[in-house]
Amino acid sequence: MSYFSSFILLFFCIIYLTVISHAINNDFSVELIHRDSYKSPLYDPSQTKFQLILNAVHRSINRANYMNKEFSTTGNKFKSSLTADSDGEYLMNYSVGTPPFNVYGFFDTGSNLMWVQCKPCNICYNQTSPIFNPSKSSSYQNILCSSRTCKSVEATSCSYDRDACKYTVDYGRGTKTQGDLSVETLTLNFTSGSIVSFPKIVIGCGYTNTLSWEYNGQSSGVVGFGKGPTSFIKQLDSLIDGKFSYCLNDNELNLSSKLNFGDAAIVSGDNVLSSPMINMIGNYQKDYYYLNLKAFSVGNKRIKFRGFKNKGINASTDTILVDSGTPVTIFPHHFYHRLESAVKKVVKLKRFKDDSGSYSLCYNMTSHQPKFPILTAHFNGADVKLDSNGVFHQLYERVKCLGFRPNNDGLAILGSKALLNYLVGYDLKKNIISFKPTDCTKY
């Protein structure tokens, strides 16, 4: 063997060992991109800050409406919290296939299956970035109808002429994805600079993907982080020991956010608060993340929480869904109005009427920074004092609004904006969600 050949072999051995070492170390992070960031394929420079804020509110409303309708639904289709008008807040950039093909998927704790649009399309929505072609990937494999994976996954059928397992994800209101269930290699760019591939990840390769609306710059698909067996987080379970965490920035400073796995996801140190997750029953509810919410405090005023009552749900009525894809926090209308009333009694600023109807309670800010009350979410075992900027959203330069919305159907959702400047950790083995005050702009 020549010196040059030996050098090349040594080089690739080092690369391989580096990849394996990082995987075994169970300690890695990736970047999350806000949908409105200039780094995002959905970035639209023509949108004003006001329009972006209203869009976030409307996505939250639509997402909550859909989740209410599907909350107690059982059936033979995947159910997801993504809706036709609410496709997520944060994008995860990764590569699929061999050689690696770059895609963007919405990071979503309210979904399970990971899927991408694929060529050749029967019907594909408008995606400005190139669409993945599995025929050009040497690592792509269809899952067979007879396989245990196909039989164990909901919403599958078979194409017996070519022995391929088919999937369907129905988001409602004319939005769905259909295609082949497959295994493929996924490659992540770690924030440490390493590039690591994960073989044989189950994904949906969507050939028929319809939306009830169209606009340029659609993402390639969805990265499900629910608790179901097909979610990305569950497929990495043996490697990351059921742990992931995130520290989310909104789009004010165009900063990226960080998504952590395994040992890197452990939330520890001073001021960490943890609450046990509520285990639900039913095809839809059991795969997502719920906490017991006992009360909310506005300053020293404590308001007892009472939420939904749905047949077939194995939980008390004081349950709230923690959802990365819903920006604005949603409360049952009867509780919201009590909370709003308590805020009105404390805040003495002049009221502002939001003609868009997006916010119910807004204030004109004075030249001096107003002192808004501290709002505290009292979870089981964790009293989390929410960041003022995550609770009171800036609508205009001198206008701030209470960033919560009433929901007539009763479901409560803790939105991503409410957890501004918190490191949020999920431990599926201990069955807890942890919160630690953190400056996410510096994390």
What lies within 8 Å, CB to CB, of 241 at 6+ separation is 26, 262, 429
**Rounded Cα distance, 270 and 367, in Å:** 35
Q: What is the 3-state secondary structure (H, E, C) of 236-256?
A: CHHHHCCEEEEECCCCCCCCC
**Rounded Cα distance, 422 and 441, in Å:** 11
Collapse the DSSP code of 209 into the 3-class scheme (helix H, G, I; strand E, B; otherwise coil) and give the result.
strand
**Rounded Cα distance, 8 and 30, in Å:** 29
Longest dimension (CA), the chain: 82
What lies within 8 Å, CB to CB, of 190 at 6+ separation is 22, 28, 29, 30, 196
Q: Is residue 143 a contact partner of residue 181, using CB atoms and an 8 Å limit?
A: yes
Q: Is residue 422 a contact partner of residue 271, using CB atoms and an 8 Å limit?
A: no
Tell which residue, 132, 141, 124, 123, has the closest CA to residue 103: 132
Q: Is 323 a catalytic residue?
A: yes
Collapse the DSSP code of 19 into the 3-class scheme (helix H, G, I; strand E, B; otherwise coil) and give the result.
helix
> What is the chain's percent helix, strand, coil content, to nearest 5?
20, 35, 45
Q: Is 163 a catalytic residue?
A: no
Annotated active-site residue in 180, 287, 323, 427: 323
Annotated active-site residue in 36, 85, 87, 108: 108
Mind telling me the catalytic residues?
108, 323
